[in-house]
Structure formats: C-alpha cells, structure tokens
Chains A and B, each alone.
Chain A
Amino acid sequence: NAGVTQTPKFQVLKTGQSMTLQCAQDMNHEYMSWYRQDPGMGLRLIHYSVGAGITDQGEVPNGYNVSRSTTEDFPLRLLSAAPSQTSVYFCASSYNLRGGPVNEQFFGPGTRLTVL
C-alpha cells in the first residue's frame, strides 16, 4: 500500500496562476480531506469529501475547488493563486461509516506551495 500520495512535493506559482494539487489513496477510504498548515495555526480544513461525487466546504474554502469523481482521487484546484495561499497543503483520508465511530486520518507527505 502506498497510503496517501500527493504531487507535487514543491511548487512555486505567480499570482493569478492556477494549478491542481493531486491526492490519491489506495486504502479504499470513503472520507478524504484537504488541510493547509500555516505557522502557528495548526492545520485548517479546506474541503472534504465523504465519498465519490460528494464534497463540502471546510473552514477556509475560499479560492479553492475540489471534485471527487473516484474513491481514490481528490484533487485540489487553486483558481487564481494569491500570496495568502502560500502554505503547506496536506491531503488526508480515513475509513468512516455513517453513524459509526470517527477514525484517525492518514495524511499524505504534503505539498509546499509558494505564491509570488
């Protein structure tokens, strides 16, 4: 099992550019999510998905889009990059069933994004 994989590891963008951060998991987890990590603020939830075709907003969704066409993949799109989106982005997945206990999330290695 590769677990949760993310590409690229590093990315530099200019203000206004768009790009997609890729995330994939091979654990057949229904739940996937994207977080951003900024110094001193812990991780904050951007978007999440409880299964293919279902997505919802987290705490800081502005400027980001997601889609979930398969169980395995959950890409994060930056529509028009801004310096405020400079951060480390983590994708995570977990095995949860509706009405069941909340399980731990498995995190990818992260993507370090710099927007100039």
Chain B
Amino acid sequence: AQKVTQAQTEISVVEKEDVTLDCVYETRDTTYYLFWYKQPPSGELVFLIRRNSFDEQNEISGRYSWNFQKSTSSFNFTITASQVVDSAVYFCALSEDAFLNAGNMLTFGGGTRLMVKP
C-alpha cells in the first residue's frame, strides 16, 4: 500500500522568506510518480509538478523548486522569496505505476497550509 505523509500541517512565514514543504512517501513499486498540487483559498486544485521515480533531477520553476531524494523517500517543495499569493494548501501525491489498467490512483498527503503574511 502506498502512503504520503506531510508532517507540517501549517506553516506561517513573512513575505520574502524562503519556505520548504516536506513530503515523505512509502511505496513498494520501483516505478511511481510524485505530484504537487496547490489549493488556493478559492478551492480549486492546481497542478504544479509531476516527477517519475527514474528522474531524480531537481527542478526549478521560477520561485519554485523541488528536491527529489529516493534514498530518503522524500519529495520536498521550496518556495523562494514567498509572496502573499503563495498562501494556499499544498498537497503532495503519489501514484504507483498501473500498467494493466492505465489508472493513476493518487494517494494524497494530508496537505500543508501555508500562510504568507505581508
């Protein structure tokens, strides 16, 4: 069975601070996919990134960066120079490879609520 743990339920920072959201996962598969989604106060879910288990390269997209470490089963998300608009709930999710049914049943972590104060 797969599991995703986001130990930080709430984080509060002041604007322009850097912040890292932690994500630890468990899976028995050797092929799997990791995702991050953002849920702003308006409630919709916004896709941020997908990473497969064979690609351990870190990724940077503007102020966002992701650090994938298979050795520690972690896929952490860092926001540099946070802004008030970054205030949201962030979810990490895992999908095991589903060769037979082409499904991608996502297992979500409990989410981290990030509050960025001006």
- Name A58's contact: one of B9, B45, B50, B105 (CB within 8 Å): B105
Q: Which B residues lie at the A interface, using CB under 8 A?
A: 4, 6, 9, 33, 35, 37, 43-45, 47, 50, 52, 91, 93, 95, 97-111
B-chain residues with CB within 8 Å of residue A100 when the two chains form the complex? 102
Asked, given contacts A107-B44, A110-B43, whether A102 binds B104 with beta carbons under 8 Å apart, the answer is: yes
Asked, given contacts A33-B105, A45-B106, whether A102 binds B45 with beta carbons under 8 Å apart, the answer is: no
A74 adjacent to chain B (CB < 8 Å): no
Give A48 to B106 CA distance when docked, in angstroms. 11
A64 adjacent to chain B (CB < 8 Å): no
- Cβ proximity bits A85-116 to B, threshold 8 Å, 1 near / 0 not: 00010101010111111111111011000000
User: What's the nearest-Cβ distance from chain B to residue A21, in Å?
Assistant: 15
Q: Which A residues lie at the B interface, using CB under 8 A?
A: 30-31, 33, 35, 40-45, 48, 50, 56, 58-59, 88, 90, 92, 94, 96-107, 109-110
Give A59 to B94 CA distance when docked, in angstroms. 14
- CB pair B99–A98 under 8 Å, yes or no, is yes
Give A101 to B33 CA distance when docked, in angstroms. 9
- CB pair B106–A105 under 8 Å, yes or no, is yes
Give A44 to B52 CA distance when docked, in angstroms. 21
- CB pair A103–B50 under 8 Å, yes or no, is yes
- CB pair B104–A109 under 8 Å, yes or no, is no
